[in-house]
Amino acid sequence: MGEFMSGESGKEVPHIVRAVMQVLIMEAKKVMSQEDAQALHQLESHFNHMRSTGGKWAEMSILARGAWTFSGTQSTFDIDTAEEMFSRLLTNCLTLVTPTFDPLGLVLDPLAARANHSCDPNAVVVMDGPELSFRTLKPIGKDEEIFISYIDVTNPFARRQDELKERYFFNCKCSKCRLGPTQKEDKWALSPDKLPGAWAETADVIIASAPHIVKDPVSFVGDDKSSQRLTALQYTAFSELEHARRMSEPSAMVRILEGGMKTCFQSKMWPVYRQPYPALRDDLIVAYISSGESARFLSAFVHGVKRYFQIDPVLFPQPFHPVRVVHTYTLATLALWLSSAPEDCPMDAMKFLEHGIDLGVVIFGLLVEVHDNVQKSHGQNSSFAKIIQKKFEEMRTDITRGDAGMIAQVMGKIESQWSTLRAFGLELEV
Ligand SMILES: [Zn+2]
């Protein structure tokens, strides 16, 4: 079954508009196979529901009209058809990503669109160029239903429910949601009344300036004073994440993300794996790297180490979870960079020496791990697996230099290096 993709990414035209234009053009020119067209029209569009959402639909309808106009298909389709297609794509598209989960656009694959959602999925969708595959996260029995996740399932219960309701029009009753807000995603580090005084004051200022926040259903913690303060802080932390995601300039992003992390960290309320704390850190690592400033690569590495030891094993328990494998690979790449350019950052080289970190061993250990898991996470023939294989071979040749015994020596050092590295990550307060 084919896919219909939007073009390359671009900030000017929203992906959804490009995708709708493309499908309208394909249909008008009859370049879509009968089978694909049929599968497309069988997908639920939730059009009537979407139209009844008032202000929200008013905004979307402008985009739908834009797609219709720019596609030049007004003589073939009426505006209702264009709006319905817009609604259908919005409901059914997955974000098109690179094998390392960088968003590129939207993809509509009728087969993937029919897989149901669970906040505790047994499969995950991995994309590789035009190919889309399901990778299992748990053993799936014959005739057992395959579930993928449409949203970030590491979010707390109320936020997941809201996102699925808003975008996909259903109340999630998956195995995890049936347990309500009782799982690790909803755990606080301390009870709300333990909020440090300075943060209680900050929260009171926030509440005074926007009293409606305490009733925000997705951030709601409780009705007593302490819980209201925590609601306000949770609301603020998520707003900061969303704010940073609308920015395009890395240093501005860094500033906002660091601010959001400060709320989670200094208030002492957030376990390190509770959202949006880990999402802020993920984005911060990316922002540090994309700033292109070599001085920030060490910061990215330290946050990456913390994520590797303290966060990913909790949020993605399977070592072969594609997101976890990509994070580990990012860490290996950062370590490679830091080890290859010590003259750029003599202070960094000193820091590793002081802590007893042998970057060569660390890089090799991380690559071994990625290499061991990539078959399950991305598939043996994926372009990502090929990149890993190549890097791994390069590294092995580099280590052996004609002496095969060197590999065993390096492997023997991994265990002790891992406790050194873990301690290094723990030193990072935030
Ligand atoms: Zn659910």
Residue 339 in this model has a pLDDT that exceeds 90: no
Place of tokens 């979407």: 50
Residue 109, pLDDT above cutoff 60: yes
pLDDT interval class at 2 (50, 70, 90): very low
pLDDT given at position 316: 96
Is 230 a residue whose pLDDT tops 80?
Answer: yes
Could you tell me the pLDDT band of residue 144, with boundaries at 50, 70 and 90?
very high
Question: How far does the centroid of ligand 1 lie from the alpha carbon of residue 172, in Å?
Answer: 5
pLDDT score at 233 = 98
How far apart, in whole angstroms, are the C-alpha atoms of residue 310 and residue 229?
27
Nearest to 236 by CA among 212, 253, 213, 265: 213
Do you know the residue count of the chain? 430
Give mean pLDDT, residues 157-174: 92
Tokens of 162: 């809201």
Distances (CA, A) of 420 to 55, 58, 309: 55, 56, 12
Token pair, residue 405, equals 């015994």
345 has a pLDDT exceeding 60: yes
Q: What is the mean pLDDT of residues 101-130?
A: 81
Per-residue burial over 166-183, b = 16 or more CB atoms within 10 Å of its CB, e = otherwise: eebeeebebebbeeebee
Summarised one tens digit per residue, pLDDT across range 246-259 is 998 999 999 999 99
CA of 152 to the centre of ligand 1 (A): 10
Query: Which residues are close to ligand 1, an ion, with C-beta < 5 A?
Result: 119, 172, 174, 177
pLDDT at 51 (0 to 100) = 86
Instruction: Give the distance (Å) from ligand 1 centre to CA of residue 344.
Output: 47
Q: For residue 177, report the distance from its CA to the centre of ligand 1, in Å.
A: 4
- What is the pLDDT averaged over residues 327-342? 88
Higher pLDDT, 14 or 31: 31
For residue 4, report the phi and psi dihedrals to the nearest 5 degrees. Answer: -120, 120
pLDDT for residue 343: 67
Return the domain boundaries, the chain: 4-114, 187-292, 308-430
Q: What is the distance between the alpha carbons of residues 2 and 111, in angstroms, rounded to a whole number? A: 9
- Name the 3-class secondary structure at 399: helix
How many Å lie between the centroid of ligand 1 and the Cα of residue 158?
A: 10
- For residues 26 and 20, what is the distance between their CA atoms, to the nearest angstrom? 10
- Mean model confidence pLDDT for the chain: 89
pLDDT over 90 (residue 180): yes
Cα(119) to ligand 1 centroid in Å equals 4
- Would you state the pLDDT for residue 262? 97
What's the CA-to-centroid distance between 175 and ligand 1, angstroms? 7
pLDDT of the residue at 3: 41
pLDDT of residue 104: 65
According to the model, what pLDDT value does residue 206 have? 97
Question: Two tokens at 389?
Answer: 């294989």
Render pLDDT for 348-404 as a digit per residue (tens, 0 to 9). 778 888 899 999 999 999 999 999 999 999 999 999 999 999 999 999 898 888 788
State the distance from the centre of ligand 1 to the C-alpha of 80, rounded, in angstroms.
32
Residue 12 confidence (pLDDT): 54
CA-closest candidate to residue 49, choices 151, 170, 216, 161:
170
Band of the pLDDT at 10, cuts 50, 70, 90?
A: very low
The residue-averaged pLDDT of 149-158 equals 95
Burial of 370 (0-12, 13-18, 19+ CB in 10 A): buried
Say if residue 274's pLDDT is above 60.
yes
Q: How far is the CA of 155 from the centre of ligand 1 (A)?
A: 10
